[in-house]
Structure 1
C-alpha cells in the first residue's frame, strides 16, 4: 500500500479506494500467509486506507497500522475509528521488541534505503517474531514505466534513473539484505501477477495514482500527451479487448523472515 518516499503527500485516498481496491483484495492472500493468532501484537506497515488492518482487527489481533501518507491515515481513521492508525515512516520506526509480527503489503518498493527499513522492522519484533511482506519485485510494471520514460525522452525530457521512485529488487538481492539484518528467511517467492485495472481509463488512473514522480517538472498538458502516447503504444500488449480493461504487468515478491536473536 502507498508509502510514498517523497516529501509531498500526493496520495489521493479517494482515488485509491475507488479505482485501486485490488491492492487490498490481493493483500488478503498475504494475511493467509501471515496466519495471525488471536491476541497477537501486529504492525501493519504501509496500511494505506486501512482495509487490511480492518481484516486483522476482525481476527482479534492487536493491530497498530502506520503509513507515511497523512491523507491515507486520515481516510483510514474515518473508515475504521476503532483501530489505532498513525503517520509513521518505515525508516524511522522506533519500536523495540513490541510485535509478534510485522505485516506489509505493496509498500516496501516505495521505501529507500531498504536495509534501513529492514533494520527497524527487525528491532520492532519480539524474539521469534515474523516479518511477512509482499511488494514489487524485479521487472514489476516494466512495460508501463519503460514506455513512460521512452515517451518523455521523445519529447525532449531526459530521465535519470536515480530519480526512479521505486525499489524493485531480485529475490536474491532482498533475501540477502534480510539475512544481513539478522532474519532467517523461511519463505521467498518471485512471481508474475497480471493485475486487471478498472475500466477503459484503468492505465491512466494507475499512472495518475502511482506514477506521479515520473512526471516531475513536466506540465499537465505534456503529461496528458505522454499518457495518451503510452496508452496507444501499450494497447496491444496490455489491453484485454474481451473485458475492455487494462492489465498491469505486475511481478511480486513475497517473503517471510523470522527473528531468531
Structure 2
C-alpha cells in the first residue's frame, strides 16, 4: 500500500483526466447504466461519467482513504445523488452481476498479473455487461524509468533499493487477450496507444514524479525524498529539454481494453 497525496494528485493529473475523457466518449452510454469505476482516485473522472447517467448511477472505488475522502468532499452525495464513492481495494471486488459497465483509467497497472482481477470483474458484470479500461502498457514511460533505474544503482540510493523489482503491470495485447479469454471475457479491442504526458516545466515534472512514482520515492526516507525527485527530474530535462513554451514531454504507452462478458 502506498501513501497517496490526494490533493497533489488532483493538481498534477490533468493528462490522466484528458485521456479519461477520451475514454468516456467510447463508453457509448445510454444514461441508465449502473457503472463501476475501478481506481477512481480523486473522483473527478467518476463525476464526469455521472453527468451522462441521467437514470443510472456510478460507484467509484479506491484503496486510498485520502483519495476517497477528497472525492467524497468534492462531490457530496446530496449534490450528486447518482455518484457514490467507497474505500475498497480493487483486487478484492466481490460483486455479483451488479454492473452494466466496469470502467477504469490509469489504475490497473498498479498490480502485476491480472488473471484474478479479470475473473472478479467478470463476476461483477451483469449478463452482456462490458468493460472499458485503460492503463499503462508495455513500454510506458520507458525513458524516465530507464533514468530512475540508473539513479537507484548509485551509492547514495542503492541501499534503499535492495531486492527492488519492477513494480508495474505494463502488458501488451497478446498476454492480455489470453487473460480475458481465461476470465470468460470476450475481447472486442485490445491495443497499445501512444500518448504524450505534458507537464509544466521542472516544477510540474517534479510534482508528477512525487505524486505517481511512489514505488520508487516511498522506498527513500522522507528527508531524502526530495533530493531523489530533484535528481530524476534534472536528469530527465537534461536529456529531453523543455519545449519553446517551457513544457516537459514524456512519451507514454497505454493499453486500452474493451471486452464483453462471455
* TM-score (ref. length: structure 2): 0.90
CA shift, 1:217, in A, is 4.1
Query: Paired residue for 1:145?
Result: 145
Aligned partners of 1:134 and 1:252 also within 8 Å: yes
Aligned partners of 2:202 and 2:237 also within 8 Å: no
Aligned partners of 1:135 and 1:254 also within 8 Å: yes
SS in 2 for 1:39: coil
Query: Alpha carbons of 1:231 and 1:27: their partners in 2 closer, same or farther (altered >3 Å)?
Result: same
Query: Paired residue for 1:219?
Result: 221
Query: Alpha carbons of 1:242 and 1:161: their partners in 2 closer, same or farther (altered >3 Å)?
Result: farther
SS in 2 for 1:75: helix
Structure 2 distance, partners of 1:161, 1:117, is 26
Of 24, 27, 45, the residue aligned with 2:20 is: 27
Structure 2 distance, partners of 1:40, 1:227, is 42
Query: Paired residue for 1:199?
Result: 201
Structure 1 distance, partners of 2:40, 2:228, is 31
Structure 2 distance, partners of 1:232, 1:53, is 34
Of 230, 246, 251, the residue aligned with 1:244 is: 246
SS in 1 for 2:170: coil
Query: Paired residue for 1:254?
Result: 256
SS in 2 for 1:230: helix
Structure 1 distance, partners of 2:13, 2:134, is 16
Aligned partners of 1:152 and 1:226 also within 8 Å: no
CA shift, 1:180, in A, is 1.1
CA shift, 1:223, in A, is 3.4
Deviations 1:35-68 (A, max 9, x none): 1111111111111111121112111231111111
Query: Paired residue for 1:96?
Result: 96
Of 204, 208, 211, the residue aligned with 1:209 is: 211
Aligned partners of 2:217 and 2:229 also within 8 Å: no
Structure 2 distance, partners of 1:155, 1:212, is 20
CA shift, 1:160, in A, is 6.0
Deviations 1:223-260 (A, max 9, x none): 33333332333224433331212112211011101102
Judge which range, 13-22 or 119-128, deviates more: 13-22
Query: Paired residue for 2:127?
Result: 127
SS in 2 for 1:194: strand
Query: Alpha carbons of 1:238 and 1:179: their partners in 2 closer, same or farther (altered >3 Å)?
Result: farther
Query: Paired residue for 1:71?
Result: 66
Aligned partners of 2:194 and 2:253 also within 8 Å: yes
Query: Paired residue for 1:3?
Result: none
Deviations 1:57-83 (A, max 9, x none): 111231111111111111111111122
CA shift, 1:206, in A, is 1.3
Structure 2 residues not aligned, in runs of 5+: none
Structure 2 distance, partners of 1:48, 1:125, is 21
SS in 1 for 2:152: helix
Query: Alpha carbons of 1:185 and 1:79: their partners in 2 closer, same or farther (altered >3 Å)?
Result: same
SS in 2 for 1:56: helix
* TM-score (ref. length: structure 1): 0.90
Q: CA RMSD, aligned part only?
A: 1.8
1:15 aligns with 2:8: yes
